[in-house]
Amino acid sequence: MFQIGPYQIDVPLVLAPMAGVTDQPFRTLCKRLGAGLVVSEMITSDVNLWKSRKSQTRLNHEGEEEPISVQIAGGDPEMMAQAAQMAVLHGAQIVDINMGCPAKKVCNKAAGSALMKDEGLVKDILSAVVDSVDVPVTLKMRTGWAPEHKNAPVIAQMAEQAGIQALAIHGRTRSCGYKGAVEYDTIKHVKSMLSIPVIANGDITTAEQAKWVLDYTGADGVMIGRAAQGRPWIFREIQHYLQTGQHLAAPSVKEVKNILLEHMQGLYDFYGTYMGVRIARKHVGWYLQAHDDTKSVRRQFNALETPEEQIQLINTFFHQHLGKEQAA
């Protein structure tokens, strides 16, 4: 349990913002399945681009459970402040600053984790955003911009002094991308220095690992990213383990089918059938990884053009699996 401004986060598990993944249907599902806080997909700080269809869907928070956390990315203090204000007008109750994304298309624009190289600019952005809005501002960053330049402790102190109200740290540097081992010592060190909540992130894929990271770093919560793709029930599994020390039984094949169909329906409702069908292909690929050894069902699914065909194929596929599970 930790506090971000006026919001008490009762479950110390946060869904990481992931562009193209953590849209409203997925956030809603993860929240229902145990996440304490979910963060929206990253949105550019250039508000002139917000009229695009992609930005409009990213800014749609209708009917979402509070608190609504929205991530913004950019490298210009004024633009970031304006983006924060606009995000609040669109319903954001927490504004999250992205200094953690290692993607080249973000870093080439001197945003994301590339910002960590320029501590003066970081300070200006943090102050500009915090001063521009009346809602809590949080920060997501990495341990540094290269293994020999781990300046997370410097930026973390700067963030707390600027009024940042919680900090999420991915245990790799910008130059590491998502490769190599995650290190948690920097996160542990940062946590020992600050009084604001610190959330540990990076390759947390099991309940045991989540507990170990919390115990080792002293962090207030853990942030789950890629491990939730196709497995949104990971949040309730971790929560159960943290509370009881026991493993929650994996969802039955029938429940996986129901969760997947709920997710697909959410995509059709949110995006409309044309886009919903296409976005469903990516998510269904992740769900079926554990069940479709030959990838043949995924290939079939990706060729389908209507919600009805997609739903029928999933029902047929899981009906065959249910038979196997009940026979076992």
Q: Enumerate the active-site residues.
A: 101
What span, in angstroms and rounded, lies between the C-alpha atoms of 65 and 15?
14
SS3 44: strand
What span, in angstroms and rounded, lies between the C-alpha atoms of 66 and 74?
25
Q: How many CB atoms lie within 10 A of CB 89?
A: 10
What span, in angstroms and rounded, lies between the C-alpha atoms of 21 and 279?
9
**Residues belonging to the chain:** 328
**H-run or E-run covering 139:** strand 137-142
What span, in angstroms and rounded, lies between the C-alpha atoms of 81 and 144?
23
| Six token digits for residue 327 | 């026979």
Are 97 and 125 in contact by the 8 Å Cβ rule? The answer is yes
Q: Is the dihedral of CA 35, 41, 42, 45 positive or negative?
A: negative
Q: How many CB atoms lie within 10 A of CB 312?
A: 12
Are 304 and 313 in contact by the 8 Å Cβ rule? The answer is yes
